[in-house]
Amino acid sequence: MSAITGSLTGEFRRYKALGDSALAQLEDSELAVAGPNNGNSAAVLVWHIGGNLASRFTDFLASDGEKPWRQRDEEFVRRTVARPELLEKWNGGWSALFSALDGLTDDHLRNTVTIRGQSFEVHVALHRALAHISYHVGQLVYLAKSIRGESWNCLSIPLGGSAAANTNPALQDPAAHAAWMAAKATKTDATTKVTKNTK
């Protein structure tokens, strides 16, 4: 891995951690709750993100990114799923992405890949994927925050915390930010389990 591919990988890991942390804060019963104006639920967003990543990055350099086995329209069908199934879909897509990225160096960036029969240089395909995934992870975070309300744990600089962040900007580094969110998600998950067990 080289400087540019390493930077892209870091940002992808940041957005996975954001999604992980948002999902960890939702109760199982909230995963299928639709967004405002009958929008996508967390489960639908996970199905689309997981499906897109699995399709684009399985056999990334050698086959078209829109696989014959992908059923994109079905990703947007309303669904109620158990958390283990949801996480399998979510992690499966990210696993395909990171496996593909692990094999790349900056020397690959001018190679071409195809998506729906159209050729793209690798660096274009990666930036396009990062923009697309960050867009949908942002939707997921917004949805989870709107559902959780006052119990939401902030995933970035909290209101009133800007001055402190300016003097210690460590979380600007994607790996540090991802690790910080992972620790928060683990703590949230443990708290949720305790709360459920005491109901």
Would you tell me how many other CB atoms lie within 10 Å of the CB of residue 115? 16
Residue 157 banded pLDDT, cuts 50, 70, 90: confident
Residue 39 has pLDDT above 90, yes or no: yes
pLDDT at 167: 87
* Residues 42, 48, 54, 56, CA torsion sign: negative
Largest CA distance in the chain: 56
121-150 tens-digit pLDDT: 999 999 999 999 999 999 999 999 999 999
Q: Give CA–CA dist 92/143, Å, rounded.
A: 22
Would you tell me how many other CB atoms lie within 10 Å of the CB of residue 112? 11
Domain limits for position 22 = 3-197
Domain count, the chain: 1
70-108 tens-digit pLDDT: 999 999 999 999 999 999 999 999 999 999 999 999 999
Q: How many CA atoms lie within 13 A of 26 on its CB side?
A: 27
CATH number at residue 79: 1.20.120.450
